[in-house]
Structure 1
Amino acid sequence: MDTALLYVDSGSAMGAQFNTMDGSMMKSTKTQSTEAAASGGEVHVEDFLSRTGTIARPGQRLSFGTYFNAFPASYWRRWTDVESVRLHVETKGAGAVSVYKSNARGSLQHVETRRVDGDTVSDFDLTLKPFGDGGWYWFDLVAGAEPMALVEANWMAEGEAQKPGSITLEITTLNKNEFCLNNLKILADNPEALENVAEVLIVDQGTKKLVDAEGFAEAEAALGGKLRMIHQGNLGGSGGFARGMYEAVESGSDYVLLLDDDIVMEPESITRMLTFADHCKTPTIVGAHMFDLYNRSVLHTFGETVNVFRFQPDHPFKEQVLGHDFARSNLRTTSWMHRRVDVDYNGWWMCMIPTEVIRNIGLSLPVFIKWDDAEYGLRAKAAGYNTVSLPGAAVWHITWADKDDAVDWQAYFHSRNRIITALLHSPYPRGGRVVREGSFIDIKHLISMQYFTAQGRVMALKDLIAGPEQLHDILPSRLPAIQAMRKEYSEAQFEADPEAFPRPGMVKPPRHGQGFKAPSYVTLVPWAAKTIVRQLTKPVAKSSIERPQARVAHIDNRWWRMSQYDSAVVTNADGTAASWYQRDPKKLRALLAEGARLNAEILKDWHKLSQKYRKALPEITSMEAWKATFEKHSEESK
Structure 2
Amino acid sequence: MTEVVFQATVAGAGRVDLVATDYKGHQRTMASTTVDSANASTRLSVPVATTQFLDGGALFVRFTTTSSELSVQDAEWTVAAPEKLRPTSVVICTFNRADDCANTVAAMADDPIALLGVDNVYVVDQGTDQVQTREKFQRVAAELGDKLVYITQPNLGGAGGFTRGLYEVQGKGGDPANVIFMDDDVLCEPEAIVRMNSFANMTVEPAIIGAQMLYLLHPDRVHVGAEVANLQKLEAGVHVKNAVSDKSAFKRKRQQDVRVDAGYNGWWSCLIPSEIVGQVGYPLPLFFQWDDIEYGYRSRANGFATVTLPGAAVWHADFAWKDWDEWHRYFNLRNGMITAALHIELDGRTLAKQLFTDLLRYLVSMQYGMAYTLIKSVEDFLAGPEHLLDGGMDAAGSIRRERAAYGETKRHNANDVPGVRPADMFITPAGPTPNSKLEFAVLAKRVLNQWRGTVDPGPVAISADDAHWWHVSLFSHAIVTDRSQEGVRVRKRNKAHAVELLRRGVAVLKRLRTETPAVAASYRAAVPQLTSRENWARLYSTDV
What TM bracket, shorter-length normalisation? over 0.9
**Code of the aligned partner of 1:606:** T
Residue of structure 2 equivalent to 1:598? 508
Q: 1:561 aligns with which of 471, 476, 501?
A: 471
Q: Is 1:498 the equivalent of 2:421? A: no
Match of residue 268 from structure 1: 191
Aligned: 1:126 with 2:67: no
**Structure-1 separation of matches of 2:349 and 2:17:** 52
2:341 corresponds to 1:341: no
Q: Secondary structure of 2:402's match?
A: helix
Q: Percent identity?
A: 31
CA shift in 2, pair 1:95/1:233, >3 Å: same
SS at match of 1:296: coil
Which residue of structure 2 lines up, in the alignment, with residue 200 of structure 1? 121
CA deviation vs aligned residue, 1:251-290 (integer Å, no higher than 9, x gap): 2361211111110111122121112111111111111001
Change beyond 3 A, Cα 1:568–1:575: same
Tell me the CA shift for residue 590 of structure 1: 1.9
Which of 196, 200, 212 is equivalent to 1:289? 212
Give the Å deviation of 1:515: 5.5
The question of whether the paired residues in 1 share the 8 Å contact of 2:382 and 2:515 is answered with no
Q: How many angstroms does 1:536 deviate by?
A: 2.1
Cα distance, 1:193 vs. partner? 1.1
The one-letter amino acid of 2:316's match is H
List alignment gaps of at least 5 residues for structure 2.
none
The equivalent residue for 1:482 is 399
For 1:81-107, what per-residue CA distance to the aligned partner results, in whole angstroms no more than 9, with x for missing partners? Answer: x12222223311111101111110111
CA–CA distance in structure 2, aligned partners of residues 624 and 416 of structure 1 = 24
- Residue 419 of structure 1 contacts residue 435 of structure 1 at CA under 8 Å; is this kept in 2? no
Task: Identify if the C-alpha distance between structure 1 residues 424 and 168 changes in structure 2 by more than 3 Å, giving closer, same or farther.
Answer: same
**2:484 alignment partner, SS class:** coil
Q: What's the offset of the Cα at 1:370?
A: 0.7
Q: Which of residues 429, 435, 438 is equivalent to 1:520?
A: 435
Shift of 1:318: 4.2
Q: Assess, with a 3 A threshold, how the Cα gap between structure 1 residues 506 and 94 changes in structure 2: closer, same or farther.
A: closer
> Aligned partners of 1:431 and 1:314: how far apart in 2?
22
C-alpha RMSD of the superposition: 2.4
What's 1:184 paired with? 105
Match of 2:139 in 1: 218
Q: What does the per-residue CA deviation read over 1:46-76, in whole Å, with 9 as the maximum and x for residues that have no partner? A: xxxxxxxxxxxxxxxxxxxxxxxxxxxxxxx
User: Aligned to 1:420, which of 338, 362, 370?
Assistant: 338
**TM superposition shift of 1:429:** 5.3
Q: Are the structure 2 counterparts of residues 487 and 268 from structure 1 closer, same or farther at C-alpha, using a change threshold of 3 Å?
A: closer
Structure 1 counterpart of 2:444: 529
Q: 1:603 to 1:313 in 2, by over 3 A?
A: same
CA separation in 2, counterparts of 1:604 and 1:501? 44
**Secondary structure of the corresponding residue to residue 282 of structure 1:** coil
Q: Is the 8 A contact 2:227 2:240 kept in 1?
A: no
Write the deviation string for residues 131-189 of structure 1: whole angstroms up to 9, x where unpaired. 1101011111112322211122222224x553211112110111112221112221121
Using the size of structure 2 for normalisation, the TM-score is 0.93
Say whether 1:304 aligns with 2:222: no
Alignment of 1:140-151 (within 5 A): 140-151=62-73
| SS of match in other structure, 1:264 | coil
SS in 2 for 1:523: helix
How far apart, CA to CA, are the structure 2 residues paired with 1:151 and 1:418?
48
* Cα deviation, residue 322, structure 1: 2.4
Q: Which amino acid aligns with 1:154?
A: E
Figure out how many residues of one structure are paired with residues of the other and give that number: 537
- Is contact 1:168–1:255 with CA below 8 Å preserved after alignment? yes
Distance 1:317 1:629, change over 3 A: closer
Matches of 2:430 and 2:482 in 1, distance apart? 22
Distance 1:148 1:431, change over 3 A: farther
Is contact 1:424-1:610 (8 Å) kept?
Answer: yes
CA distance, structure 2, for counterparts of residue 203 and residue 115 of structure 1: 51
Q: Deviations over 1:445-481 (max 9, x none)?
A: 1111110111111111111111102212261111221
302, 325, 341: which is aligned to 1:407? 325
TM-score by length of 1: 0.80
| Distance in structure 2 (CA, Å) of the matches to 1:605 and 1:498 | 48
**How big is the shift at 1:605?**
1.8
Match of 2:381 in 1: 464
Residue in structure 1 matched with residue 153 of structure 2 by the alignment = 232
Tell me if the contact between 2:97 and 2:185 (Cα under 8 Å) persists in the aligned partners: yes
Measure, in 2, the Cα distance between the counterparts of 1:484 and 1:309. 29
Q: Which amino acid aligns with 1:621?
A: T
Amino acid aligned to 1:425:
H
- Equivalent position SS for 1:225: helix
Compared with structure 1, are the counterparts of its residues 577 and 311 closer, same or farther at alpha carbon in structure 2 (3 Å cutoff)?
Answer: closer
SS in 2 for 1:477: helix
| C-alpha deviation, 1:317, in angstroms | 4.4
Name the amino acid aligned to 1:552.
I
Distance 2:23 2:185 in 1: 34
